[in-house]
Amino acid sequence: MPDNTTSASNAAASAADRAYAEIRGLILAGDASPGTPLREEALADIVGVSRTPVRDALRRLEVELYAVRTPGGRLVVADWDSDDVAEIFALRAMLEGHAAARAARRATPAQLAELRHCNAAIEAAVAIEQPDVARFLAENRRFHDIILSASASARLSTMLAGLVEQPIVRRTATRYDRADLARSAHEHSQLIQAFAAHDEDWARAVMTAHIRRALHAFQDATPSK
């Protein structure tokens, strides 16, 4: 199982972090389908820690709406229908657009260089015959993270953390053909231009378009759900 989608199952991390990663993994892998109750003790057994860090993890998952609370206070795996996904992309478009605008005002030459370097890696990953999708995803995430840190808003970062669903991004990207991936890289370079020009509106517009294209790619890739 080479799995473990996003940040790895860092054995060194705290018990709460491991619990979070593992439970989230269960949900995203579909092992815990929507509606499945998330019982603290059972999960504690699975993860191999006590209930305390599991509770911690569940609270985080609840904030990020992976889990929802029943009227009585029990947690169950949330059901994301296509409307939810569309809403996630809409919010991402707004918030990342805002982040891009802020980044355009604040980006330092060092950050610009980092972005250029990162996007070069993306272009390299998609230029070859069989695009290296894993590499694309990793660098793509890094690209967006750099922008987020350039935006210098802790609030934006925490809000987007629960919104940027790497699994969704992955499902989108795996359906991209090479032309799509190349277009994505091109949009990134447009973003860098906007940052270099310190043009907030331009940056916002490009980012918004970038994300909304991803939404439609995702919708085209999924039957209807």
Q: Is the CB of 11 or the CB of 154 nearer to a second copy?
A: 154
Binding mask of the shown chain, residues 27 to 66, with x at each position contacting DNA by CB under 7 A = ----------xxxxx-------xxxxx-xx----------
User: What is residue 9's DSSP assignment?
Assistant: -
Candidates 2, 72, 109, 223; binder of DNA (CB under 7 A) is 72
Q: Is the CB of 193 or the CB of 219 nearer to a second copy?
A: 219
d(CA 91, CA 142): 20
Q: Is the CB of 51 or the CB of 213 nearer to a second copy?
A: 51
What is the distance of C-alpha 161 from the center of its chain?
7
Q: Give Cβ neighbours of residue 211 (< 8 Å, ≥ 6 apart).
A: 89, 92, 93, 96, 97
Q: Angle CA(171)–CA(172)–CA(176) in degrees, nearest 5?
A: 120
Candidates 54, 75, 88, 191; binder of a second copy (CB under 8 A) is 88
Q: What is the 3-state secondary structure (H, E, C) of 108-176?
A: CHHHHHHHHHHHHHHHHHHHCCCCCHHHHHHHHHHHHHHHHHHHCCHHHHHHHHCCCCHHHHHHHHHHC
Candidates 65, 113, 127, 197; binder of a second copy (CB under 8 A) is 65
Work out the angle between the directed axes of helices 82-106 and 154-161 (0-180°, nearest 10). Answer: 160
Q: Is the CB of 50 or the CB of 189 nearer to DNA?
A: 50
Query: Using CB distances below 5 to 8 A depending on partner kind, what does residue 90 bind out of a second copy, DNA, none?
Result: a second copy
Q: Is the CB of 39 or the CB of 213 nearer to DNA?
A: 39
Judge contact between 67 and 61, C-beta under 8 A: yes
Query: Using CB distances below 5 to 8 A depending on partner kind, what does residue 88 bind out of DNA, a second copy, none?
Result: a second copy
Judge contact between 70 and 162, C-beta under 8 A: no
- Write down the least CB distance from residue 162 to a second copy, Å: 8
Determine, following the binding rule CB under 7 A, whether residue 77 of this chain makes contact with DNA: no
Determine, following the binding rule CB under 8 A, whether residue 17 of this chain makes contact with a second copy: no
Question: In the numeric block, which tokens belong to residue 156?
Answer: 């934006």
- Part in contact with a second copy (CB under 8 A); list of ranges 24-32, 58-66, 174-182, 186-194: 58-66
Q: Is the CB of 14 or the CB of 82 nearer to DNA?
A: 14
What is the contact surface with a second copy in residues (CB under 8 A)?
56, 59, 63, 65, 68, 84, 87-88, 90-91, 94-95, 98, 153-156, 158-159, 163
